[in-house]
Chain A
Amino acid sequence: MALYSGTFHENYAQDMAVFPTKLHWGLLIIFLILLFTCPLFFSDRILTILTMIGITIISVHGLNILVGYCGQISMGHAGFMAVGGYTSAILYAKLSFPFWAALPCGALAAGIAGLFFGLPSLKIKGFYLIMATIAAHFIIIWAIIQLYGLTGGADGLSVPRPRIGAIMLGTKTNYFYLVMVLACLATLIAHNIVRTRAGRAFIAIRDNDLAAEVMGISLWSYKLQAFFIGCVFAGVAGALLVHYISFASTDQFPFMDSVWYLGMLIVGGMGSTGGAIFGVVALKLLDELVTVIGPILSAAVAPQAAASVAIMSHGLIIIIFLIFEPRGLYHRWEMIKNYFRLWPFSHQE
């Protein structure tokens, strides 16, 4: 990464800082202020969308650690979210755990499920692993339905609105704050993990697992750690989703969601914290856009056409996007940033 001209680092701490200059800090603070004053000027609907985006960001950060950094492609992420969601829901609704305890327990449960289904990753790679994680998704959903007494099976499980002490988190505004705080925290944690010891080990495994092992990184331990961390994030997201809808059902965690989470990561740009955020925001907005224009299209073309055009436009936009920017939005963003940093010189040696 190029530095702005006139910026010099004088010690390692400075060089390693996430926000190296006052400008960065300033921008961050402005962004946070804007984010946390959202409820003041946005409607319930926008808040709902933003909350969903926040929840998805948490989940996709987890997937990014697993896929983008550690290179273990998972298409079962929604399944792990389901584990987190259901555990938290059962603890809160049936065993009357407090919310602040149920949520981490859900995350932990998802992490443990991740460890379990991550075990095959020690032996298998690539496409085989993708398939094993797809299998994990269906096995988890099936298991949830089998555990009728605990989970309500296919009927689902009703969950009361969460509260911490006297604070009711059921209102949209409060829940929005909860999700956003957690999303920011998740972003920070994800970013820190990948730039320290564990993260470097993940990338080493992704880039060259054989060499990594010879260089002293235990594949066994770090692949499982990646699964654990990734799934803990998924668990948090799943729990937040279930508590938000105040209902747990297997329909909330469809397989296609797993696929789309991966899609968000690809669109945003794998292996960068920013990429995960970019991808989620872009695809979620696209999704909402498609929903909004559906009826308009329907009126303009034909009632039947609405659904199809909506779905198709979703796919077409992604196709066009991939043709022009196959390396992800974040890559484009970095190029633009670099362009301005290097301006007026157009080439970097």
Chain B
Amino acid sequence: MGKTRFGFVALLIVMVALFMVPIGAQAKTLYVGGTQSLTGAFAEDSAAVLAGIQDYVRYVNETKMMAPWRKEKFPADITLEVLWRDDELKPAKALSIYEELKAKGMLVARISGSPIALALKDRLWEDQMGATSMASGSYLMTPPQSIFTYYPIYTDSCAAIADWFKASWKESRKPRVAYLTADNAMGKSLEIPAMRAYLDKIGYEFVGTQYVPLIATSPPTTQLTWLKQKGVDLALGVMINPGSQPTVKEMVRLGMGPFQPYKMTFGVALPGHAAVFAEAMGKLGDGYVCAGSFRPLDDLATPGIKFCDDLQKKYHPDKRVTHIMYEGGMLEAMVQVEALRLALEKAPYEKLTPKVVLEQGFYRIKNLNTGDISSTPLTYGKGDIEGVDEIRIDQVRNGKSVKVGLAPVHGIY
């Protein structure tokens, strides 16, 4: 008993001590990063994003350059530091993390998933804190607006797929469209009246909605059979990879797909990641459409991708991050650092506040050249949180993700 009591006291002391540990803050440090969701459904995306942010920040600290293709320099006397915590995709936890990071002097934030976005968006606006976001539902668009995306919102992505599909529609009847989407806030962000209105406007017949678990534990045979029975031509959804892979696999087995006996195209917005999908599924995944996705990591002709590749080679050659959201991390870091740099142009280091960074930083980002990682250069402003103006559409063909089109952003929310 004596031993256990000693153990308890020791444990308590360690806990208290760790609580008090100050994160060593040197003179003139600015923080980037924010909350991460390293556990939960978005863990794999989040881990890659974190790696991207860390590499980019290291690059800026070492070279004081913003990117190889840019002339602007980051102020030499200021060091950047990545500060992050794992929120486990729990809103309440994200809240206390946000408080902690804010108290540490962080001037930018980040949103790691839809639950976090929903919980923090009002608070961010209240604090006039600008944030980058990995989640991109239409819920971000309704004011207040201080969360900035670097790929189109999901509704715009799906609208782009609808545009693209309609362009190649040959039959005289109206094409039939249905939602086949994840059953969480992200997946359901499609179901807004504006989306339906747009589909009606461009000449679709809307059939209905079917839900697939965020990560499927059984093939969605039922849902797909239903789609088949209703004669659906195009299924739209917001779905992450662990949801879409079994779905497409089951489609093939049921003989559904653009290259199958029953012709149906399945298109999802970005979190379905065409490149990741193609790699995992191979030819089995042929016909899968994904809008808003980034270029594959091996597309070294693109300066931005080359930059990513160089950084990975330089900083962790043996532990290459192969997930495409590494590019997302680069973009998030670029946006955050750019906002800080722009704000520093207008106010001295000591005068920086979240509000200053939001108004003099984020709002002033115009045509930020991302080396073509994002489909267009990023532009933000008051009321414009969607950074890109065009949406890239990829399709899996012969086991490879191929760019099949580019559609304009319609601003559906």
Which chain A residues have a beta carbon within 8 Å of chain B's beta carbons? 43-45, 47-49, 52, 153-156, 158, 241, 244-247, 249, 251-252, 254, 285-289, 291-295, 302-304, 306-307, 310-311, 317, 324-325, 332, 335-336
Contact = CB atoms under 8 A, between A and B. Distances in A.
B102 interface: yes
Given A44-B102, A249-B91, A251-B118, A324 B7 contact: yes
A251 B115 contact: yes
Interface stretch (B181-189, B229-237, B304-312): B181-189
Contacts of A303: 47, 50-51, 54
Contacts of B187: 154
A252 B15 CA distance: 26
Contacts of A291: 85-87, 93, 96-97
A317 B91 CA distance: 24
B412 to A, nearest CB: 15
Nearest to A56: B92
A304 B47 contact: yes
* Nearest 4 CB-CB pairings of A with B: A251-B115, A307-B38, A154-B188, A45-B100
Contacts of B185: 154-156, 249, 251
Nearest to A254: B90
B18 A292 contact: yes
B5 interface: yes
A256 to B, nearest CB: 9
Q: Which of A156, A310, A311 has the most CB of B within 10 A?
A: A156
Interface residues of B, number: 49
Nearest to A336: B5
Given A245-B91, A245-B119, A246-B122, 4 more contacts: A48-B95, A249-B91, A251-B90, A291-B86
A154 B211 CA distance: 13
Nearest to A293: B18
Contacts of B183: 154
Interface of B: 1, 4-5, 7-8, 11, 15, 18-19, 21, 38-39, 43, 47, 50-51, 54, 83-87, 89-93, 95-97, 99-100, 102-103, 114-115, 118-119, 121-123, 139, 183-185, 187-189, 319
Contacts of A336: 5
A241 B7 contact: no
B122 A307 contact: no
Nearest to B189: A155
Given A153-B188, A286-B15, A245 B99 contact: no
A185 B387 CA distance: 49
B38 to A, nearest CB: 3
A48 B115 CA distance: 19
28 contacts: A44-B99, A45-B102, A47-B99, A52-B96, A154-B184, A155-B118, A155-B188, A155-B189, A156-B185, A158-B122, A241-B92, A245-B91, A249-B91, A249-B118, A249-B119, A251-B114, A251-B115, A251-B118, A251-B119, A252-B92, A285-B19, A288-B96, A291-B85, A292-B85, A303-B50, A303-B54, A306-B38, A335-B1
A289 B118 contact: no
Nearest to B90: A254
A289 B96 contact: no
A155 B50 CA distance: 26
B151 to A, nearest CB: 20
Contacts of B121: 247
Contact of A52 (B83, B92, B102): B92
Contacts of B115: 249, 251-252
Given A52-B92, A289-B15, A324-B7, A44 B139 contact: no
Contact of A287 (B18, B89, B93, B100): B93
Contacts of B1: 335
A332 B123 CA distance: 41
Contacts of B319: 302
A295 B54 CA distance: 12
